[in-house]
């Protein structure tokens, strides 16, 4: 990929964005595209090099195009050090350490901007943090530089709310919540976001904004846990949970989410813990976490029951990303399932069309299927709906499918001789499995990866 040349002379930044990851890059690019000079700052040289060359170190639809436009316009530069600016936007990760937030990157990013703060600057934190972080941790670090928040500079919290996979659309269209240390701070932050956000912007105080962000992700976690519990109950009652959920969702005030092998990613599986407080014996949020954390083990149990303990059973895992159509494996429930199966001496091959091999070791679709005793779909990548079960059947040793995401056409797989087991549906998988008609050695004319997929969308 050729280096993208700047055509316009270097401008001093109006906005400095600290942390060039999933949130920082699109934020910096959007602000630049809407007319402000932006400096993106990151401590990783390889991230800076990639961006300078117009390459996006994160996979996100349309992001490369807007990043390149922003660089080409001359309004986006990157550097390892901040500069003086009117706005500082902090977008660094807050992983969890045990059940608490690791704020080391927030602290380091905050310290890094202190020498560049000037009278009238506005500091905005976007990272997901426990309530109180902006006022009790960020504020004192900033004030060590001698300026006073609310008087000399402004401080606001504006959580990112974008869904990985649709970040570019959501970064513009979603409503934003802005908490300010005072109303002037919230207003100053609103002025920045109003340039590129078409959704509504709601102003509040710092703690409330921090709390709202966590409440949103805990809400989703609890609702996925509810769907997961329904799946277990449906199996016990001999009901198909997918049909049951579909029917229940016809109620005007019911919207049940989808069950699955667990909750992954760097947000929903992590953030609910940050909401807890020592003074409160919270029950719903920790229970939801426990329900979702137990899902991989339940899936492992199901897959083991499908294994005929022949010489060395092999499972072909489809999808290692934490969710469909993503290339991110952080906290992925699929990895927990794979590791547990391997610990039980099951041979596991992994195919994921989106996750690069250097991120997680995967195999070609052919090698993954070769001699498999069970195909386990653990991630709902759109690609999997296009697999041709007739061609897949020619590669495997036993035609057994376990679909933990309800994402392929089960009738077609059954028609191709597969015994289909679906998470949450006790009625599937009643037919005894039958071996393939072709021997494992008779594979010379096997289809290529391309032909294992249909060319048309399934019904």
Determine if 268 is a binding residue for ligand SAJ (CB under 6 A). yes
Among 333, 353, 329, 331, CA closest to 341: 333
Closest contact distance (angstroms) between CB of 331 and ligand SAJ is: 8
CA gap 95, 98 in Å, rounded: 10
DSSP one-letter string for 37-94: -EEEE-S-HHHHHHHHTT--SS--TTHHHHHHHHHHTT-EEEESS----SEEEE----
Determine if 161 is a binding residue for ligand SAJ (CB under 6 A). yes
Closest contact distance (angstroms) between CB of 323 and ligand SAJ is: 4
Residue 456 sits at φ, ψ, to 5 deg, of -120, 155
| Helix (H/G/I), strand (E/B), else coil: 170 | helix
Handedness of CA 221, 57, 27, 103 (dihedral sign): positive
Selected catalytic residue, list 91, 158, 188, 267: 267
Nearer to ligand SAJ by Cβ, of 162 and 349: the residue is 162
Strands 87-90 and 122-125: parallel
Cβ atoms 324, 381 nearer than 8 A: yes
Residue selected from 59, 75, 77, 258 as contacting ligand SAJ according to rule CB under 6 A: 258
Closest contact distance (angstroms) between CB of 211 and ligand SAJ is: 14
Determine if 164 is a binding residue for ligand SAJ (CB under 6 A). yes
Determine if 288 is a binding residue for ligand SAJ (CB under 6 A). no
Residue selected from 24, 26, 179, 264 as contacting ligand SAJ according to rule CB under 6 A: 264
Closest contact distance (angstroms) between CB of 89 and ligand SAJ is: 15
The question of whether 158 is a catalytic residue gets the answer: no
Please work out, in degrees rounded to the nearest 5, the angle formed at the alpha carbon of residue 155 by the alpha carbons of 153 and 157. 165
Nearer to ligand SAJ by Cβ, of 19 and 264: the residue is 264
- Tokens 């495997």 belong to which residue? 396
Nearer to ligand SAJ by Cβ, of 54 and 164: the residue is 164
Residue selected from 163, 248, 282, 440 as contacting ligand SAJ according to rule CB under 6 A: 163
Closest contact distance (angstroms) between CB of 269 and ligand SAJ is: 7
Per DSSP, 115 falls in state G
Structure tokens at 93: 């990760």
Closest contact distance (angstroms) between CB of 224 and ligand SAJ is: 4
Residue 101 sits at φ, ψ, to 5 deg, of -75, 135
Determine if 322 is a binding residue for ligand SAJ (CB under 6 A). yes
143 CB neighbour count, 10 Å cutoff: 16
Selected catalytic residue, list 91, 158, 213, 323: 213
Cβ atoms 302, 402 nearer than 8 A: yes
Closest contact distance (angstroms) between CB of 267 and ligand SAJ is: 3
Determine if 19 is a binding residue for ligand SAJ (CB under 6 A). no
Please state the separation of Cα 272 from the chain's center in Å: 15
Residue selected from 77, 289, 302, 323 as contacting ligand SAJ according to rule CB under 6 A: 323
Closest contact distance (angstroms) between CB of 304 and ligand SAJ is: 21
Strands 154-157 and 176-180: antiparallel
**Within the chain, how many helices (H) and strands (E) appear?**
15, 15
- Stretch of 234-242, 258-266, 310-318, 338-346 contacting ligand SAJ, by CB under 6 A: 258-266
- Stretch of 177-185, 239-247, 252-260, 395-403 contacting ligand SAJ, by CB under 6 A: 252-260
CA gap 34, 27 in Å, rounded: 11
For the chain, how long is the longest CA-to-CA vector?
A: 79
**x-marked contacts with ligand SAJ along 373-392 as a string, rule CB under 6 A:** --------------------
Please state at what angle helix 63-72 crosses helix 45-52, rounded to 10 degrees: 80
Nearer to ligand SAJ by Cβ, of 70 and 224: the residue is 224
The question of whether 213 is a catalytic residue gets the answer: yes
**x-marked contacts with ligand SAJ along 210-249 as a string, rule CB under 6 A:** ------xx--x---x-------------------------
Determine if 421 is a binding residue for ligand SAJ (CB under 6 A). no
* Residues with a known catalytic role: 213, 267
Site for ligand SAJ, rule CB under 6 A:
128, 160-164, 216-217, 220, 224, 257-258, 260, 263-265, 267-268, 322-323
């Amino acid at each position: 990929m050729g280096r993208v040349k700047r055509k316009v002379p270097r401008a001093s930044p109006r906005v400095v964005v600290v942390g060039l990851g999933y949130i920082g890059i699109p934020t910096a690019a959007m602000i630049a595209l809407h007319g402000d000079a932006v400096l993106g700052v990151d401590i990783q040289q390889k991230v800076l090099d990639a961006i300078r060359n117009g390459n996006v170190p994160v996979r996100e639809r349309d992001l490369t195009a807007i990043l390149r436009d922003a660089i080409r316009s001359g309004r986006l530069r990157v550097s390892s050090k901040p500069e003086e600016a009117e706005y500082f936007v902090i977008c660094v990760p807050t992983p969890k350490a045990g059940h608490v937030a690791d704020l080391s990157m927030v602290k380091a990013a905050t310290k890094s901007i202190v020498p560049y703060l000037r009278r009238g600057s506005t500091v905005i934190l976007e990272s997901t943090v426990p309530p109180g972080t902006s006022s009790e941790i960020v504020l004192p670090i900033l004030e060590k530089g001698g300026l006073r928040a609310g008087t000399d500079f402004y401080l606001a919290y504006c959580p990112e709310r974008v869904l990985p996979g649709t970040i570019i659309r959501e970064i513009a269209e979603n409503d934003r919540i802005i908490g300010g240390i005072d109303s002037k701070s919230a207003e100053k932050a609103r002025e920045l976001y109003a340039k590129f956000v078409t959704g509504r912007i709601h102003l509040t105080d710092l703690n409330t904004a921090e709390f709202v962000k966590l409440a949103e992700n805990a809400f989703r976690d609890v609702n996925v846990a509810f769907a997961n519990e329904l799946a277990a109950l449906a199996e016990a009652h001999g009901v198909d949970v997918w049909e049951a959920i579909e029917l229940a969702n016809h109620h005007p005030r019911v919207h049940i989410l989808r069950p699955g092998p667990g909750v992954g990613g760097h947000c929903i599986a992590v953030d609910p813990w940050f909401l807890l407080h020592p003074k409160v014996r919270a029950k719903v949020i920790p229970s939801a976490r426990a329900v979702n954390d137990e899902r991989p083990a339940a899936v492992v149990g199901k897959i083991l029951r499908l294994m005929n303990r022949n010489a060395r059973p092999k499972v072909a895992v489809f999808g290692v990303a934490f969710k469909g159509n993503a290339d991110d494996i952080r906290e992925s429930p699929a990895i927990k399932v794979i590791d547990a199966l391997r610990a039980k001496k099951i041979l596991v091959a992994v195919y994921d069309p989106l996750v690069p091999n250097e991120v997680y070791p995967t195999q070609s679709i052919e090698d993954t299927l070769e001699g498999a005793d069970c195909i386990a779909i653990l991630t709902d990548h759109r690609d999997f709906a296009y697999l041709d079960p007739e061609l897949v059947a020619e590669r495997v040793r036993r035609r057994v499918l376990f679909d933990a995401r309800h994402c392929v056409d089960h009738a077609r797989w059954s028609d191709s001789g597969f015994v289909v087991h679906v998470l949450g549906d006790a009625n599937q998988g009643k037919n005894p499995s039958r071996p393939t008609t072709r021997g494992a050695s008779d594979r010379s004319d096997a289809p290529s990866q391309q032909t294992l997929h249909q060319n048309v969308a399934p019904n």
